[in-house]
């Protein structure tokens, strides 16, 4: 077959395809079932493809916290959820999803995720409990935090945090290197009920932790973090935007 024969064979083939689909090649039909990935705004699809692997199916928790946790939803406003989803938490496993931060999702898709997560909230889930603030109002004191640990956590995590009969270590360098102080704070306030770790009211039933005790406890846990300079995941080493090297 010479060149011309090939060219006309291709032309016939192209025409046949065009007749079969009745449109110009490459242009999606109005009712096309294939949606470009960046056009997907269905929350369930976006969530299951991007978040479920770590936060669990339907937000029920996995390696990372349960986003359906009513205490988490009470303390984290939309701005916090949007910012974390868009920019991630550098130095932890939480990725940045916004295209502007190197991720794959458009602002519209991030909005759909924020609204979807918010729709999991049950407005009267906490009735008249006063929930401690998401962000610490005053710096914590690690000495006092050691005392708070004894009061609220040692019954399960052991006398020094290295694990007890009911729960494992929470002071291991390997664990603390992977989580931010903010995540420790969220965990203390919202608990990991799906794993059996109570929220701020449940560690000592009838005796909720005060906001100051929570800050102190986080300072104590944070002080157990290894200070090895080239720790692979030190919080500031990765993203210049968070104070790391430029």
Which residues lie near ligand HEC (CB under 6 A)?
A: 50-51, 53-55, 64-65, 76, 81, 84-85, 89, 92-95, 97, 113, 152-153, 155-157, 166-168, 170, 179-180, 182-183, 186-188, 192, 195-198, 203, 217
41/156 with CB nearer ligand HEC: 156
Residue 83 C-beta: closest distance to ligand HEC, Å = 9
Reference 23, options 12, 15, 35; nearest CA is 15
Residue 202 C-beta: closest distance to ligand HEC, Å = 7
Distance, in Å, from the CA atom of 116 to the CA atom of 136, rounded to the nearest integer, reads: 27
Per the structure block, which two tokens stand in for 129?
């409990």
74/179 with CB nearer ligand HEC: 179
Q: Which class for 117: exposed (0-12), middle (13-18), buried (19 or more C-beta within 10 A)?
A: buried
Distance, in Å, from the CA atom of 170 to the CA atom of 176, rounded to the nearest integer, reads: 8
Residue 113 C-beta: closest distance to ligand HEC, Å = 5
How far is residue 113 from each of residues 34, 55, 116, 189, 206, measured CA to CA in Å? 21, 13, 5, 23, 36
2/165 with CB nearer ligand HEC: 165
141/183 with CB nearer ligand HEC: 183
| Cβ atoms of 14 and 25 closer than 8 Å | yes
8/150 with CB nearer ligand HEC: 150
Residue 5 C-beta: closest distance to ligand HEC, Å = 53
With vertex at residue 62, the alpha carbon angle to CA 76 and CA 215, rounded to the nearest 5 degrees, is: 40
Residue 17 C-beta: closest distance to ligand HEC, Å = 38
How far is residue 78 from each of residues 51, 106, 111, 186, 203, measured CA to CA in Å? 17, 17, 9, 15, 28
Per the structure block, which two tokens stand in for 206?
């009838």
71/81 with CB nearer ligand HEC: 81
Q: How many CA atoms lie within 13 A of 196 on its CB side?
A: 6
Residue 138 C-beta: closest distance to ligand HEC, Å = 18
């Amino acid at each position: 077959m010479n060149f011309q024969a090939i060219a006309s064979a291709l032309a016939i083939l192209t025409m046949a395809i065009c007749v079969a689909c009745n449109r110009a090649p490459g242009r999606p039909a109005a009712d096309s079932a294939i949606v470009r990935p960046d056009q997907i705004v269905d929350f369930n699809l976006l969530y299951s493809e991007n978040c479920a692997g770590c936060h669990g199916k339907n937000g029920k928790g996995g390696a990372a916290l349960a986003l359906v946790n009513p205490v988490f939803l009470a303390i984290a406003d939309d701005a916090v959820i949007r910012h974390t989803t868009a920019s991630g938490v550098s130095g932890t496993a939480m990725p940045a999803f916004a295209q502007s931060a190197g991720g794959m999702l458009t602002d519209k898709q991030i909005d759909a995720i924020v609204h979807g997560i918010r729709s999991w909230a049950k407005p009267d889930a906490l009735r008249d409990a006063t929930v401690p603030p998401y962000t610490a109002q005053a710096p914590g004191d690690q000495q006092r935090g050691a005392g708070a640990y004894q009061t609220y956590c040692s019954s399960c995590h052991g006398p020094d945090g290295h694990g007890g009969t009911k729960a494992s270590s929470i002071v291991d360098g390997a664990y603390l290197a992977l989580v931010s102080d903010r995540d420790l704070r969220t965990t203390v306030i919202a608990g990991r009920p799906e794993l059996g770790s109570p929220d701020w009211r449940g560690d000592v039933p009838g005796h909720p932790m005060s906001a100051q005790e929570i800050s102190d406890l986080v300072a104590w846990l944070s002080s157990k973090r290894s200070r090895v300079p080239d720790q692979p995941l030190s919080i500031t080493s990765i993203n210049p935007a968070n104070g790391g090297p430029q």
